[in-house]
Chains A and B, each alone.
Chain A
Amino acid sequence: MAAAAAAAAICGEDETAARVGCTGEWAGGIERVDLGERKEAVAAAGAGKRSVYLMDCAPVWGCASTRGRSAEMEDASAAVPRFADVPVRLLASRRDLDALGLDADALRLPAHLFGVFDGHGGAEVANYCRERIHVVLSEELKRLGKNLGEMGEVDMKEHWDDVFTKCFQRVDDEVSGRVTRVVNGGGEVRSEPVTAENVGSTAVVALVCSSHVVVANCGDSRIVLCRGKEPVALSIDHKPDRKDERARIEAQGGKVIQWNGYRVSGILAMSRSIGDRYLKPFVIPKPEVMVVPRAKDDDCLILASDGLWDVVSNEEACKVARRQILLWHKNNGAASPLSDEGEGSTDPAAQAAADYLMRLALKKGSEDNITVIVVDLKPRKKLKNIS
């Protein structure tokens, strides 16, 4: 992740900064800032540039989903612009913020959430995740935000682990009926399972703000970052034959059995999920979290269920998504809406990319439900200005 650690404090020029979308177009032409060059960034800030932490970040995405050749539709997805504000201290150290002249305790960054949930045994848990993950995550962030002020130097990665672990655990507890939840459209609060004990879902979630992408994954859906034409996997599938996963399951007294592929107890072909209480404690809802500072050459994020990844490689997905976004802008540049007008709705270029990836998976024979979200990290407004 060394290369991914770039851009912790990239600065853009003031006048463009106010108008750029999710990072990206640095009109001033500051190239990639590597880790350890913070001094340069700080100096730039002093010279009238604007910190990435102060930038707005308009979400630009497209989402495509199909039942495909499967009998049931059990995928779900979420795209929630401005679902929460992230305390800046979860993204940068107090020292760095002080150096940038920023108020470490007060500053909060608007964040957007994208998630793909691939259900099995039914759609109930995937649908529940779609409705709840962003709500619970927002609550966890608020709770943590209150406590941050009293803490010393915080370990950012640890806090993100904690926030997402609590969030996924909470949703899992609600699904299994271990804690209360609101039922009957808000009328009542009760502890009762959402559905049968053999229903579950993957959850891959990306929190996007102007400076970072924070990813949490549980299961075998996947998120890939297209950075400088190269694919960077931001999640590692939780398959039962992964060495560490197998060891964890066996240490709990469980078994990974090859039964049409490696499966927990011979049944479930993933080692972590939300739901599936009949396979606890072997199958757990704990996510793996990755905190990725954004870089100038970040192109887009692709979140998808295994209906895509089973037949399309990370590399091909990145190539196709980039090409489709560029193509759309080339063909429709003049008609491109400003990203700040498109707030809260999908972007046609990212949508074209998501649609294309979904159709490609179908064409390549995917047998499963297919869900693809493409988040464009490089708003193409300048293309419009040029054209």
Chain B
Amino acid sequence: MVGLVGGGGWRVGDDAAGGGGGGAVAAGAAAAAEAEHMRRLHSHAPGEHQCSSALVKHIKAPVHLVWSLVRSFDQPQRYKPFVSRCVVRGGDLEIGSVREVNVKTGLPATTSTERLELLDDDEHILSVKFVGGDHRLRNYSSIVTVHPESIDGRPGTLVIESFVVDVPDGNTKDETCYFVEAVIKCNLTSLAEVSERLAVQSPTSPLEQ
């Protein structure tokens, strides 16, 4: 299954020493690439009462497969296990589209209203902003990017998800980050499982050969 490269490191750069068996040079190169993606695509400017963080996931599936899941703004339930239902207002999918998301029980929320800020099929960038809902995430903004990489000599995908959000009254920055990261980790783990399952099923997948 998916390795959390570097002994469970989720944060960018955590995996510099681990590498998927590619040796220190390759691992160093991978870390440098991650850092470059971060600098170019995930630069948030958190305010005084905000927190921000980024998580990475290495997936053993080709980038087009992973991107097809990530880009489906109208169907986040294809991989996000906390989503029970999603409806896009108006129907047409375009920048500025708003989705109404219902989340499953067992979470500190039941609904979330989210706007599509950016969908770039060339660079593989998805950016979403939370604009409503009964959760406590005010001014939440996230960026997900996917990048091709080689995992054990096979086509794989590096996913980076970063966010910035207000720290709610009564919580610390640490707590807010911890909570959001726990949700994102669960989503990325599920994204990896779904992608890898699809990769095995897909006849064009090199993994099958």
Interface residues of A (CB under 8 A from B): 70-72, 74, 119-122, 196-200, 255, 257-261, 263, 265-269, 278-279
A-B contacts, CB under 8 A, total: 69
Interface residues of B (CB under 8 A from A): 81-82, 84, 102, 104-109, 136, 170-171, 175, 178-179, 182-183, 185-186, 189-190
Bound state CA distance, A239 and B192, in angstroms? 31
Residues of A within 8 A of B105 (CB): 70, 72, 74, 119-121
Interchain CB contact under 8 A, A261 and B82: no
- Nearest 7 interchain pairs by C-beta: A120-B106, A266-B179, A260-B108, A265-B182, A196-B81, A120-B105, A198-B81
Knowing A120-B104, A197-B189, A259-B108 touch, does A267 contact B179 (C-beta < 8 A)?
yes
Interchain CB contact under 8 A, A198 and B179: no
Interchain CB contact under 8 A, A200 and B106: yes
Interchain CB contact under 8 A, B179 and A265: yes
Interchain CB contact under 8 A, A259 and B136: yes
Interchain CB contact under 8 A, A198 and B171: no
Bound state CA distance, A363 and B102, in angstroms? 26
Residues of B within 8 A of A200 (CB): 106
Residues of B within 8 A of A255 (CB): 175, 178
Residues of A within 8 A of B108 (CB): 259-261, 263, 266-267, 269
Interchain CB contact under 8 A, B81 and A197: yes
Bound state CA distance, A72 and B143, in angstroms? 32
Task: Please give the distance in Å from A255's CB to the nearest CB on chain B.
Answer: 5
Bound state CA distance, A255 and B172, in angstroms? 12
Interchain CB contact under 8 A, A198 and B178: no
Bound state CA distance, A163 and B136, in angstroms? 42
Interchain CB contact under 8 A, A267 and B171: no
Bound state CA distance, A261 and B182, in angstroms? 17
Apart from A265-B178, A267-B108, list 6 A-B contacts with CB within 8 A: A121-B105, A197-B186, A198-B104, A260-B108, A266-B175, A269-B106
Residues of B within 8 A of A121 (CB): 81-82, 104-107
Interchain CB contact under 8 A, B183 and A267: yes
Bound state CA distance, A305 and B206, in angstroms? 49
Task: Please give the distance in Å from A88's CB to the nearest CB on chain B.
Answer: 41
Interchain CB contact under 8 A, B183 and A259: no
Per a CB cutoff under 8 Å, which of B102, B170, B182, B189 touches A267? B182
Knowing A72-B105, A121-B104, A197-B81 touch, does A258 contact B170 (C-beta < 8 A)?
yes
> Which of B102, B105, B136, B179: most chain A CB closer than 10 A?
B105
Residues of B within 8 A of A279 (CB): 182
Task: Please give the distance in Å from A332's CB to the nearest CB on chain B.
Answer: 38
Bound state CA distance, A122 and B84, in angstroms? 9
Interchain CB contact under 8 A, A259 and B171: yes
Bound state CA distance, A329 and B164, in angstroms? 63
Interchain CB contact under 8 A, B104 and A257: no
Interchain CB contact under 8 A, A267 and B107: yes
Bound state CA distance, A261 and B109, in angstroms? 12
Bound state CA distance, A263 and B107, in angstroms? 9
Residues of A within 8 A of B179 (CB): 257, 259, 265-267
Task: Please give the distance in Å from A282's CB to the nearest CB on chain B.
Answer: 10
Bound state CA distance, A263 and B106, in angstroms? 10
Enumerate 12 A-B pairs (CB-CB under 8 Å) in ascending A order: A72-B84, A121-B105, A197-B186, A197-B189, A199-B81, A258-B171, A258-B175, A260-B109, A266-B178, A267-B108, A268-B106, A279-B182
Task: Please give the distance in Å from B201's CB to the nearest CB on chain A.
Answer: 15
Name the residue of chain B whose CB is nearest to the CB of A257: B175
Bound state CA distance, A23 and B192, in angstroms? 55
Residues of B within 8 A of A70 (CB): 105
Residues of B within 8 A of A196 (CB): 81, 190
Task: Please give the distance in Å from B37's CB to the nearest CB on chain A.
Answer: 26
> Which of B81, B171, B183: most chain A CB closer than 10 A?
B81
